[in-house]
Amino acid sequence: MIKEAINFLAAPVYSFSIFCGLFFLAMKRMDIVGTKKFGIGLLVFTLVTFAWMVADPIFFSIISLPDNIPIIILNALVIWSTWFALYKGHQNDLRIEAGESPLEGSPENREKVWAWPNLVYTELFAGIVCTVFLVVWAIFFKAPLEEPANPTWAPNPAKAPWYFLGLQEMLVYFDPWMAGVVLPGIIIVGLIAIPFIDVNPKGNGYFTFRERKFAISAFVFGWLALWVYLIQVGTFLRGPNWTFYGPFEVWDFHKVVAENNINLSEIVWIKFMNTSLPKNIFVREFFGVVAVFIYLFALVPLITKKWGKTYLEKMGAIRYYLMIFLVLSMMSLPIKMYLRWFFNLKYLVAMPEFELNL
């Protein structure tokens, strides 16, 4: 009964909404999230839930695939490091509020030590531990090798390496040009550009949350909700034919999901105007092009008026508009996901004639 409910709620439309809701709640209530009590509670809750889920044979068979074990480790590390950074930031926020210096700036922490031997020994030790871990892992879990490649056959489901499963999940909602080239390119260039765009000196050398609320929230949203979450879905919840399966659901090859995706042009011309699609593709895709332009350009002044004025003054126009462009590109992914879930929308602009689909 509970398992059925979890299977139901694990569907991307619900689990993504729940995840985003919890995320923004956490960002709002840092006074709760940033405490040790919350951390311990989260750890106990996660361990108990995980133990209960592992007891299920189907769930166990999914997570014990050799490909999937690193993602369990990734989850533990991501949850730990995210919470730890937020906890440290919250501690410092409380100190700053009380008029003290951040913990890292206290006299006993400002004491300087030599890189050799203090740092180098730690690094050497960490290197040895990692090597031992990898060797033991390689001995216990064999590499999941398959038969020689065959150009006329694909495994089902055909999954990318685990670190690319977020991208593969993104490809479900986008044209390969967008999700495979343009958006990853923007991600990489955007990450490189962060130090040039974000010139806020606060938080240099110490943890803080309150002093860089927007920067941290935006980055962690992109990282957790749009990358780590999608890796989870792609790894654990996508089965044969890339159909969605709940965590306690058998991977039934013949599970049928009613889905009939249509383009924006078909919704507008056929559903609303009751005519056939125009022959000229630019007339046909006019509304989609307009929608994309509104999103990328017309929205910017509105956003600036409502939230961006102080940022615009602080950062300068070029940095500010670059940041807005990066945020809008990032948000295009969840928007496209919701459009797909609610309206079965395939593409806003569909020009397969030019291999251009947005």
**Residue indicated by tokens 């008026």:** 305
Reading the block at residue 221, the tokens are: 């949203």
Q: Does 347 bind other proteins (CB under 8 A)?
A: yes
Size of the site for other proteins (CB under 8 A): 33
Minimum CB distance to other proteins, residue 149 (Å)? 11
Q: CA distances (Å), 96 to each of 38, 269, 330, in order? A: 21, 58, 32
* Alpha helices (H) along the chain: 2-9, 12-28, 30-33, 36-54, 57-63, 69-97, 120-140, 165-171, 176, 183-197, 213-220, 229-236, 264-266, 281-284, 286-293, 299-303, 309-315, 317-343
d(CA 156, CA 242): 8
Angle at 213 between CA 207 and CA 217, to 5 degrees: 100
Residue selected from 12, 27, 346, 348 as contacting other proteins according to rule CB under 8 A? 346
What are 323's two structure tokens?
Answer: 């940041």
Give CA–CA dist 262/350, Å, rounded. 10
Residues 173-192 that bind other proteins (CB under 8 A): 173-176, 180
Q: Which stretch binds other proteins (CB under 8 A): 14-22, 254-262, 288-296, 326-334?
A: 254-262
Q: Name 238's bridge partners.
A: 244
Site string for other proteins, 141-170 (x = CB under 8 A): ---------xxxxxxxxx---------x--
Find the shortest distance in angstroms from Cβ 290 to other proteins: 20
Q: Rounded to the nearest 5°, which phi and psi values hold at 64? A: -90, 5
Q: Nearer Cβ to other proteins, position 176 or 301?
A: 176
Min. distance of Cβ 346 from other proteins in angstroms?
Answer: 7
Minimum distance, C-beta of residue 306 to other proteins, in the bound complex (Å): 33
When binding is defined by CB under 8 A, the residue of 139, 256, 273, 317 that contacts other proteins is: 256
Taking CB under 8 A as the binding criterion, the range among 17-25, 95-103, 185-193, 348-356 that sits at the site for other proteins is: 348-356
Q: Which of 137, 166, 308 is nearest to 225 (CA)?
A: 166
Binding residue for other proteins, selected from 171, 231, 268, 315, defined by CB under 8 A: 171
- Coil/strand/helix, residue 91: helix
Among the residue ranges 135-143, 224-232, 241-249, 282-290, the one whose residues contact other proteins (CB under 8 A)? 241-249
Q: Which is nearer to other proteins, 311 or 341 (CB)?
A: 341
Q: What does the binding site for other proteins look like in residue numbers (CB under 8 A)?
A: 150-158, 168, 171-176, 180, 240-243, 254, 256, 259-261, 346-347, 350, 352-353, 355, 357
